[in-house]
Amino acid sequence: MQNLEALIRDVPDFPKPGIIFKDITPLLADAPALKATADALTEPFAGRGVEIVVGIESRGFIFGSMVAERLGAGFVPLRKPGKLPVEKRSASYELEYGSETIEIHADAVRPGQKVLMVDDLLATGGTMAAGCELIEQLGGEIVGVSLLIELCFLNGRDKLPGREVHTLIEVE
């Protein structure tokens, strides 16, 4: 994990003042690190009947599809507004300033399907909490949540009570 952490670049004041952006592009470009990340995101959820991996736009698409392939599961994208072409469900959640919306196709998950949620980073937890709620509205059963980085000081886990949250790098 230390090796992975060394490949994540801190970019101060991006995209706005006061935010330290975690740039994962060096990790993505490093073949052994990319493989190790996907393996580690998958490992606790192997053999648990996961049928669908849901990835959150856009960095969650990269890891989510790699995890889906490893689990022999399908992949479903949770997208920013206006990108999905047919009937969809949306969830909005508050950010520090303003609000954000994510969308999923209404037929993307069938009732009773076992779902693993994947993204690159847990900050306030608002995105992941809204994503989990959308899946459950469709009748999906959330097996767990798997993320590369957790910004622990933002207490994102508090928005995911009772869920199995697996993170590889914890930033205190």
The two tokens of residue 25 are: 């592009």
Among the listed ranges 36-44, 109-117, 121-129, 138-146, the one in contact with ligand AMP (CB under 6 A) is 121-129
What is the spatial distance between Cα 172 and Cα 159, in angstroms, rounded to a whole number? 18
CB of 103 to ligand AMP, least distance (A): 14
Fill in the per-residue mask, 15 to 54: x = in contact with ligand AMP (CB under 6 A), - = not in contact: ----xxxx--------------------------------
Q: Would you call 97 helix, strand, or coil by DSSP?
A: coil
* Interacting span for ligand AMP (CB under 6 A) from 29-37, 76-84, 109-117, 123-131: 123-131
Q: Under the criterion CB under 6 A, does residue 79 sit at the interface with ligand AMP?
A: no
Nearer Cβ to ligand AMP (7/21): 21
1 makes contact with ligand AMP (CB under 6 A): no
CB–CB of 91/122 below 8 Å? no
Give the nearer residue to ligand AMP in terms of CB position, either 20 or 106: 20
Tell me if 118 contacts ligand AMP by CB under 6 A.
no
Residue 51 and residue 114 in contact, taking contact as beta carbons nearer than 8 Å? yes
Check binding of 134 to ligand AMP (CB under 6 A). Answer: no
DSSP-derived pairing of the beta strands 99-105 and 88-94: antiparallel
Looking at the chain, how many residues does it have? 172
Beta strands in the chain (DSSP E): 9-12, 20-23, 52-56, 74-78, 88-94, 99-105, 114-122, 141-151, 165-171
- Which residues have a catalytic role annotated? 59, 96
Check if the beta carbon of residue 131 is closer than 8 Å to that of residue 117: yes
Is there binding between residue 150 and ligand AMP (CB under 6 A)? no
Q: Is 123 in the site for ligand AMP (CB under 6 A)?
A: yes
Residue ranges in contact with ligand AMP by CB under 6 A: 19-22, 56, 59, 119-128, 156
